[in-house]
Every structure is written in C-alpha cells, then in structure tokens.
Homo-oligomer: A and B are copies of this chain.
Amino acid sequence: MRVLGIDPGLTRCGVGVVDGSVGRPLTMVDVGVVRTSSGLPIAERLVTIEKGLDAWIEEHRPDAVAVERVFARSDSSTIMGTAQASGIALVVAARRGLPIAMHTPSEVKAAVSGNGRADKAQVGAMVVRILRLTELPKPADAADALALAITHLWRGSASNRLEAAVARAKTQQSQQTPVRTR
C-alpha cells in the first residue's frame, strides 16, 4: 500500500510518499515540498498548490492520502492559508476517488514516537529510524508529511482490516437474511 502524506501550507506544502505492507519495514518513495511565493495573490498560490499536488499523485499513484487536520485553535497568523491549502489537498485527492484520512498532530506524534506530546526532534528521529534514512529530509514540512504517511499506514492498516471484517460480516448477514414474502 502506498500513502501520500500532505502537510498543508500556503508557502510550503509538505509531501511524502511511503510504501508499506503488514509485517514489513516501511519504505520512503519520495519526499519534497510544493512551494508558492508569498508575493503572489492567494488565489494563484492555491492554484499552484492544486497543480503541484496533482502532479505528485499523478507521478506516484498512491492508494490513499493522509492530510494533517487543521484546527482553528492554533493562533498562528497563517492558519487561514493553511486551512485553504488543506481544502485544496482534500479536493485534489477526492476528485480522483482516493481514500482520504485526516490525522491530528498529536495522533501523528503518538503513532510515530509512541508519545502524543513528543517534540519535533523526537518525531524526526523516529521518522529517520522507521524509514531507515541517513538524515531527516528538510524542510520540516517535508518530514512532517512522511510522519503523516507513516501514521496512516500504521493506524490505517488496523482500521482497514476492521472495516474489511465489518464489510465481510455484513455481506454474510445479508446473504443469510431470508427473502421476505408478502
């Protein structure tokens, strides 16, 4: 299973592609950022992000997309741009019918490092170990996108198996349901 992690942002949108299957080590396929210039109108920047993310999906054909969930409680001045960029990421993935998951920063920290309050350095060190890299990709947005993809592969595989089991159970149940007659 191949997952594209997206850490949305208006200036730097982190993107990371990770391959994984149950019981095997995860592999980094590619990592980078989609950048837009702060000097351009916001609408143009969002179109650049749309095209950039579309190109990543086109090239790497992920089976699922994991996007960081953005919260209003963040008091950053860039939060509106981040929310807009996340909206574009969701649309780009949904238009292609890809399964989408959103993970909060603390879910990512917990999945990758075992601690929902881990700091950036701890999460980064674990990303390097999990993907057997020689160093942490830069900028931080790129590394965060990899952490999102790892989170999705680890959390997603459990919930995917659960969903598959539920779907099987429902199919069996419907097959057992006697046909009603008037």
Contact = CB atoms under 8 A, between A and B. Distances in A.
Contacts of A150: none
A10 B72 CA distance: 15
Contact of A87 (B44, B84, B93): B84
Contacts of A86: 84
Contacts of A87: 46, 83-85, 87-88
Looking at A43, A83, A90, which has the most chain B CB atoms within 10 Å of its CB?
A: A43
Taken together, the copies of this chain in the complex come to: 2
Contacts of A100: 41, 43
A164 interface: no
Interface in A129-177: none
A7 to B, nearest CB: 16
23 contacts: A41-B94, A41-B100, A42-B90, A43-B90, A43-B91, A43-B93, A43-B94, A43-B100, A46-B87, A46-B90, A46-B94, A47-B95, A50-B91, A71-B80, A72-B77, A72-B79, A72-B80, A80-B83, A84-B84, A84-B90, A88-B88, A88-B91, A91-B91
Given A83-B83, A84-B90, 6 more contacts: A42-B102, A47-B94, A47-B95, A72-B72, A72-B79, A88-B91
